[in-house]
Amino acid sequence: MIIKKAEYVISAAKPKQFPKIDRPEVAFAGRSNVGKSSLLNHLVQRKGLAKTSSKPGKTRLVNFFDINDEIYFVDLPGYGYAKVPLTVQEEWGKLMHQYLEERASLELMVLLLDCRHMPSKQDLMMWDWVTHFKVSHLVVLTKADKIPKIKFAAARKKIAVELKISPNYLMAYSTLKNQGREELWKAISERIL
């Protein structure tokens, strides 16, 4: 995929602010700090396009990015950040739900899981949602550089069992080691372009 254009469009706090529906959309979801914004930047090779942080809770709104005037990439707020007051978590949750339920142009959901952790309750809820509503999806295990290859393979198997899918379905990604980009682009392109 040649990225001619990757531009920030809007950070929406409510559905009214979502851009008008005129192209397919790929959304990135996962718990806070799993690496959604970093992965989005790495995919389009634009450091700093989506704001990242070592502290969880950086992305709080639904952020739209225009990719080649062809697709929108949507960086969603992370879930499950315990340090955020419940009322604020509920607000993010509401916005996420509004996005997921109302967005007719959502064509692909990329679900990110940290390879070092088993899926959380909220990860499993998101997984149930995409499978139940038959939303086209991909699952990516992030931060693959953080554990040795053998441990990664074992973690991948365990996570696959939990999700009741084949381990082959889980893609490895590391923005640090430049791993997984081509494979993920290929999978995205097959589904939406």
Residues that bind ligand GTP in the complex, under the rule CB under 6 A: 30, 32-38, 52-54, 56-59, 77-78, 142-143, 145-146, 174-176
Which CB atom, from 39 or from 139, has the smaller least distance to Mg ion?
A: 39
CB under 5 to 8 A by kind: which of Mg ion, ligand GTP, none does 119 bind?
none
Which residue has the closest beta carbon to ligand GTP? 78
Strand order of the sheet with strand 170-172? 6-12, 62-67, 71-75, 25-30, 106-114, 137-142, 170-172
Contact pattern for Mg ion over residues 28 through 67, marking x by CB under 5 A: --------xx--------------------xx--------
How far, in Å, are 4, 24, 41 from residue 66 at the CA level? 11, 11, 12
Is residue 57 a contact partner of residue 139, using CB atoms and an 8 Å limit? no
Q: Which is nearer to ligand GTP, 145 or 162 (CB)?
A: 145
Cβ contact 57:9 at 8 Å = no
Question: DSSP assignment of 121-132, as one string?
Answer: HHHHHHHHHHHH
- Region for residue 160 given its phi and psi (left: phi exceeds 0; alpha: psi -120 to 50; beta: otherwise): alpha
Say which entry of Mg ion, ligand GTP, none residue 56 contacts (CB below 5 to 8 A, set by partner kind): ligand GTP
Which residue, 34 or 111, is less far from ligand GTP as judged by CB?
34
Q: How far is the CB of 112 from Mg ion (least distance, A)?
A: 10
**145 interacts with, out of ligand GTP, Mg ion, none, CB within 5 to 8 A per kind:** ligand GTP
Buried b (16+ CB within 10 A) or exposed e, 5-39: ebeeeeebeeeeebeeeebbbbbbbbbbbbbbbbb
Size of the site for Mg ion (CB under 5 A): 4
Beta carbon of residue 104, minimum distance to ligand GTP (angstroms, whole number): 25
Q: What residues make contact with Mg ion under the rule CB under 5 A?
A: 36-37, 58-59
